[in-house]
Homo-oligomer: A and B are copies of this chain.
Amino acid sequence: MTSCSISPDPRFDLVLERIVDVPRDLVWAAWTTPEHLKKWFTPAPWKTVHCEVDLRPGGIFHFLMESPEGQQFPHTACYLDVIPGECLIWCTALAPGYRPLSAAAGGNPFLFTAIITLESLGERTKYTATVLHSDEEACRKHDEMGFHQGWGAALDQMVALMS
C-alpha cells in the first residue's frame, strides 16, 4: 500500500472526483508547474500571482492569492509524497522541511491535507482530489466555504488551459 491509497472518512474528508478530457501527464504538469498553476489554481476573479514548487517530500508549495480588490493572501504548504503522474500529497500543517506551522507563529490556521490522484482512461483522466481534515467541524466549515464549487471551478480552469 502506498501512502496514496488512503480511504477517505466521510465524516472528516471532502472528495472531488471527475473524469476530465485531459491526458494524465498534462494534469500532472498542471499541478506541478508554477506557470500552469498561476493560470488555473485560483477560481476567477481571484488570481494566483506567485507560485513556488519544490517537488519532493519536504519541499515547499507556496502560492500567493490576490482578491479582485488587490489584497494578497500568502499560503505555504509542504509536499509529503510525490509519485510522478500518479499521486501528489501536500499539507498546510507543515512548512517546508517538515517544520510544524502553528497558527500562533503566523501559520495557516486552516489545516488540511490534499491528496491528488490521477488514473489514465485512454486520453482522459480520472481525477480525484481528497481533502483530509482534523475533525468534523473543520470538514463542515470547508464544505460550507464552498469546497466543491471552488475546487470544481479551478478544475474547469485547468481543463480549459490544458485542452
For A135, list chain B residues within 8 Å (CB): 102, 104-105
Return the chain B residue nearest A59 by Cβ.
B3
| CB pair A97 B56 closer than 8 Å | no
Contacts A6-B97, A94-B113, A113-B94 hold; do A134 and B58 have CB atoms under 8 A apart?
A: no
Q: Report the minimal beta-carbon distance from A7 to chain B, rounded to whole angstroms.
A: 8
Contacts A56-B3, A57-B81, A80-B57 hold; do A113 and B100 have CB atoms under 8 A apart?
A: yes
- Residue in B80, B100, B107, B111 whose CB lies within 8 Å of A58: B80
Chain A: interface size category: 20 to 34
Complex CA gap A137/B107 in Å reads 14
Complex CA gap A57/B107 in Å reads 23
| CB pair B111 A102 closer than 8 Å | yes
Let me know if A98 is at the binding interface, CB within 8 A: yes
For A3, list chain B residues within 8 Å (CB): 56-58, 97-98
Return the chain B residue nearest A108 by Cβ.
B100
For A57, list chain B residues within 8 Å (CB): 3, 57, 80-81
Other than the known A57-B81, A80-B80, what 15 A-B pairs have Cβ atoms closer than 8 Å? A3-B98, A12-B99, A58-B81, A91-B98, A91-B100, A94-B94, A98-B113, A99-B133, A99-B134, A100-B112, A100-B113, A100-B132, A101-B134, A104-B135, A105-B138
